Every structure is written in structure tokens, then in C-alpha cells.
Amino acid sequence: MSTVPRLTALDAVHRALGATMTDFAGWDMPLRYGSERDEHVAVRTKAGLFDLSHMGEITVTGPQAVDFLNFSLVGNIGSIGVGRARYTMICAENGGILDDLIVYRLGEPDAPEYMIVANASNAQNVLDVLRDRAGDFDVEVRDDRDAYALLAVQGPESPGILKSLTDADLDGLKYYAGLPGTVAGVSALIARTGYTGEDGFELFVAPGDAEKLWNALMEAGEPVGLVPAGLSCRDTLRLEAGMPLYGHELTAELTPFDAGLGRVVKFEKTSMSESFVGRAALAAAAERAETAPPRKLVGLIAAGRRIPRAGFSVVADGKVIGEVTSGAPSPTLGKPIAIAYVDAAHAAPGSAGVGVDIRGTHEPYEVVALPFYKRQK
Amino acid sequence: MSNPQQLRYSKEHEWLSATEDGVATVGITEHAANALGDVVYADLPEAGAAVTAGETCGELESTKSVSDLYSPVTGEVVESNQDVVDDPSLVNSAPFEGGWLFKVRVTEEPKDLLSADEYTEFSGS
């Protein structure tokens, strides 16, 4: 494997902006351009522009695309209308989560085409697993990772910014929908999706068009407060919004039910067969979650100011009762927050005596329901 | 970014002021503050604490990481900056001024502290 980090089509732009870069899943990505807290606040109150070109696109076409995806993924892909998107997962036979995905249905009603967006760190594995599962299905699984650059405009000002650059019907574009269009003269798949808890758009474009689109968005957005935003604030934004991150809240050792996301698993599917990879294990996991959940995913809010980090123990009465999966200072709450798996007995909001072991000191934390932040619509 | 000429610097990116009545002020450099990102928590040595040159005496937490704070000199802490404890972002906004971290009565100073020009060359900024 190459150890040279991959560069996105916007690499020169990031460097010209003086970004602090970081290695992320083999990609050299902007961590922050200035203050990550300012970038976070800009996305919550105005808008931020992200380069997410590390995300992995995989396109599935062919007459049996629906049956294949219903078999390979846990969701009911057959129920996704043209131009809509769905949050779903791909699991192993034992029910363990291999990745969480967004599936966009593109193309025409009679020519099914689905674009799957996988996490950068898992994209190769997802591609390999899908190809392996394609077996006898009449489908083509195409690696489109190099076919797209991905820019995201997120925040309350994002609809206005995008409207000034496109004739596409953005008002008709619902959350979790996507349509092909032209933005600033660039052909794009315009999706109303994101990972920040704000309204916003993700724009899939040819890498050669990425810089032109970035510059047009910055020019249109700067007057209303759009700023370049890095992966650091993306992480605190998704954390406040209670959105899981693979490798933290989601792992191959957990099923969607363990992660509190059993709703993404559909045992009834719109296709020839309702069998799918992981079905038996997931049915058992659903039963277990209902009757005797081992640990539950909760939010924790610090009374003090020390930051909980992934892997820190959650404690009560001097005993370890859970583990932090993600933690950061929350710019919106003004306090450190964390997502953690804790024993069911301590998972109810307001559970007394819960703390986090921060390098030997038990710091008191309040147990709350996720998310920490929900935007006013 | 320029590193003030009147200060001296450690390779752990702390700065040290000239002593006044035997007491010097310590902080971290702008280069270090930029590398950390937004500082959100500062654990500083308290008045009366003994510190040793090159050894950890506290920590600074930023959004993404925890970094040990090293003392550039040996001595006894006489004051820590409560303004920074209350508002750690001072470390980012004014690392050489309001974002100072602690004052120390110096008993021993290492010989390898850097001048501003040497530190600029060492840190590359």
C-alpha cells in the first residue's frame, strides 16, 4: 500500500488558504483553516464550505440493482424513489456493521442507478464486499471514487448561497433528496444531505470542476458569512447533532441495534426475496435490544471543563459502566460533551453519579438523550 | 508572526521573559498555539509548586488533543494566570501577552534556551 497521502482536487486551494492539513484515511485533508470553533459557529449561524472529496462513491447499475442492494444492505432500497436518498448500513453475516452509507437513487425509473457513498476509511472494503456479493446478480458495481470531488455547503445561509448560482429547484429539493443540475456553470449532483445538523447541500462534481465551483461558492457566500470549514469542526458539528461516526460509535463488533439505529434495518423488503446478508443475526440482535440491551448509546455533558476523549471509561460508584466513543468541547453548549456506550442501568437521562475517568480523575457528567443540538426549523 | 526579541525560548515551544526580582513569566509561543488549535482547557501549576526545566508541569487541551506543558526553567511558581484558566482562548489570541501561563521564581536556568532568531529558525515560523 502506498503511504503517500492522496490529494483532493482542491489541495492547492487549501494550501493557499493556509489550512492545517491532516492525514485522514490516507487522504491529506484540511483539519482547519483558522479557529475550528469559529468555523463551527459559522456553520451553525451562517454557512461553511467543506471539501469532502475523500468520501468513497460506488455506483451500482443493471437490471437487478434493487435486488442486489436489498440483499447486500440492511435497508429497503426498493422503496427509494428516483431522486431520493436513504441512510443505511452494510453488515457482515454476523450482523456487525461494516459501514454506514448514503444511497442515492439516480437515473430513470426503468434504468435503475444507485450511487453509494461510503466512508473514506471503509470505501475499499465496501467495494470489495459489494463485488463479492454481486455473484449471480445482473449488476455492475463501479468504483467511482476518482470520478467525483465532493463539496458541501452547510448552514442556514446555504440555500440562499446555492440559489444565487443555480436554476435548479432547491425549494422542491427535500432533505435526503438529490437531483442533477448546474451550479455556477458546473454539472453537479445536488443533494440536500449533510453531517452537521444544519440545512445544507452536498455537491458531487467532476474533480476538474471542483476549484471553479469552490471559488464561485466562496464568492457568492462570503458576503453572508460563508467560511471554509475543516474536518475538525465537521466532527464537533456531527457530535452535537448526535450523528454516529464509523470507528467510534459504529464498529464491526456492533450491530445497528446495539448502536440504537435498528430502525435502518428493514426485514420487509421490496424485492424478489427478503433474504439479505446478516438477516438472522440482526433478527436476534433486534430481539436482544428489545429484551436485554447490553449497553446503550447516550449523551454526556460535563459539569467541569476537561474534555472526554474516545476510549475513556465512564464510571459510577467507582465502577466502570461504559466507554466514551467520541468527545469534544461543544461550541454551542459551551461545555465538553461526549457520546458513550453505558450499561442500561445508568443510561436513563438524569442518571445520578455518572462520571468520566479523565486521566485518573472522575469528572462528573450529566446523562442526556441524544442529540445535544437540534436546529429550529 | 514574529517572536518577540526580548524573550527566550525552549525547544518545547515555551517562552520565558527576562527576570524581574528573580521572577520570570512563562507562556507558549504563537507557533505552538497555532499548532494546538483552539485551547479549551488549561491545567496550570499553582503558586507554590516546584517546577523543573524540561519536565511537565501542566497541560493544555485543545479541541483535538491534550498537550503537556513543560517548564523552561527550574524554580517555584509564584502565580498562575487565572484569566487563562477562565478563558483559555487567550492562549490563542494573545500568546505572548494576556495568554501568559505562569510566573516562576527561577533557581536554575538551562543553558540551551534559544534567542528569538534561533527559535524562529528552529520552529520555522
* Domain assignment of residue B3, yes or no: no
Of the candidates B35, B40, B92, which has its C-beta nearest A329's C-beta? B40
Using the predicted structure, report yes or no on whether residue A110 has a pLDDT greater than 90: no
Using the predicted structure, report yes or no on whether residue A127 has a pLDDT greater than 70: yes
What kind and span of H or E run contains A231? helix A231-240
Return the SS3 of A343.
strand
Domains, chain A, with CATH or none: 6-53+148-240 (3.30.1360.120), 55-120+255-292 (3.30.70.1400), 295-368 (2.40.30.110)
* Domain assignment of residue B45, yes or no: yes
Tens digits of per-residue pLDDT, A251-286? 999 999 999 999 999 999 987 788 999 999 999 999
Mean pLDDT of A124-141: 97
Using the predicted structure, report yes or no on whether residue A7 has a pLDDT greater than 90: yes
Q: How many domains does chain B have?
A: 1
Using the predicted structure, report yes or no on whether residue A1 has a pLDDT greater than 60: no
Task: Verify whether the Cβ–Cβ distance B40 to A309 is below 8 Å.
Answer: no
- Separation CA A192–CA A24 (nearest Å): 24
* Domain assignment of residue B116, yes or no: no
CATH of residue B97: 2.40.50.100
What is the phi/psi pair of residue A375, to 5°?
A: -75, 150
Mean pLDDT of A1-14: 88
- pLDDT of res. B1: 61
Task: Verify whether the Cβ–Cβ distance A36 to B41 is below 8 Å.
Answer: no
Among A24, A232, A305, which would you mutate to test the B interface (most chain B Cβ atoms within 10 Å of its Cβ)?
A305
- pLDDT category at A4 given cuts 50, 70, 90 is confident
Of the candidates A35, A232, A336, which has its C-beta nearest B64's C-beta? A232
Q: Judge whether B47 is closer than 8 Å to chain A, CB to CB.
A: no
Q: Other CB atoms closer than 10 Å to residue A317's CB: what's the count?
A: 10
Q: Judge whether B23 is closer than 8 Å to chain A, CB to CB.
A: no
Tell me how close the Cα of A35 comes to any Cα of chain B, in angstroms.
6
Strand partners, A97: A91
- Separation CA B7–CA A206 (nearest Å): 51
Strand partners, A258: none
- pLDDT of res. A132: 97
- Separation CA A262–CA A310 (nearest Å): 23
Task: Verify whether the Cβ–Cβ distance A35 to B64 is below 8 Å.
Answer: no
- Separation CA A10–CA B95 (nearest Å): 32
- For chain A, how many residues are written? 377
- Separation CA B27–CA B95 (nearest Å): 7
A232 chain-B contacts, CB cut-off 8 A: 37, 63-64
Mean pLDDT of A159-167: 97
Q: Judge whether B1 is closer than 8 Å to chain A, CB to CB.
A: no
Task: Verify whether the Cβ–Cβ distance A36 to B92 is below 8 Å.
Answer: no
Task: Verify whether the Cβ–Cβ distance B63 to A20 is below 8 Å.
Answer: no
- pLDDT of res. A273: 80
Long-range contacts of A82-85 (CB under 8 A, 24+ apart): A82/A106, A82/A107, A82/A108, A82/A109, A83/A177, A83/A178, A83/A179, A84/A174, A84/A176, A84/A177, A84/A178, A85/A176, A85/A177, A85/A178, A85/A191, A85/A193
Beta-strand pair A27-32/A6-7: parallel
Per-residue pLDDT of chain B (125 residues; tens, 9 = 90+): 689 999 999 999 999 999 999 999 999 999 999 999 999 999 999 999 999 999 999 999 998 889 999 999 999 999 999 999 999 999 999 999 999 999 999 999 999 999 999 999 999 87
Instruction: Give the gyration radius of chain B's Cα atoms.
Output: 13
Strand partners, B80: B102
Among B60, B62, B64, B89, which would you mutate to test the A interface (most chain A Cβ atoms within 10 Å of its Cβ)?
B64
Residue B119: closest CA among B2, B33, B26: B2
Tell me how close the Cα of B21 comes to any Cα of chain A, in angstroms.
35
Tens digits of per-residue pLDDT, A328-364? 999 999 999 999 999 999 999 999 999 999 989 999 9
- pLDDT category at A187 given cuts 50, 70, 90 is very high
Tens digits of per-residue pLDDT, A197-232? 999 999 999 999 999 999 999 999 999 999 999 999
* Domain assignment of residue B125, yes or no: no
* Sheet with A178-183, side-by-side order of all strands: A178-183, A186-191, A200-205, A149-154, A47-51, A226-228
Residue with cell 477562565: B86
Question: Which residues of chain A are at the B interface, by a Cβ-Cβ cutoff of 8 Å?
Answer: 20, 31-32, 35-37, 232, 236, 305-307, 309, 328-329, 336
% chain A with pLDDT above 90: 93
* Domain assignment of residue B120, yes or no: no
- pLDDT category at A2 given cuts 50, 70, 90 is low
Question: Residue B44: which domain range?
Answer: 8-108
Strand partners, A203: A151, A190
Residue with cell 461510503: A118
Of the candidates A36, A309, A336, which has its C-beta nearest B38's C-beta? A36
ipTM of the complex: 0.78
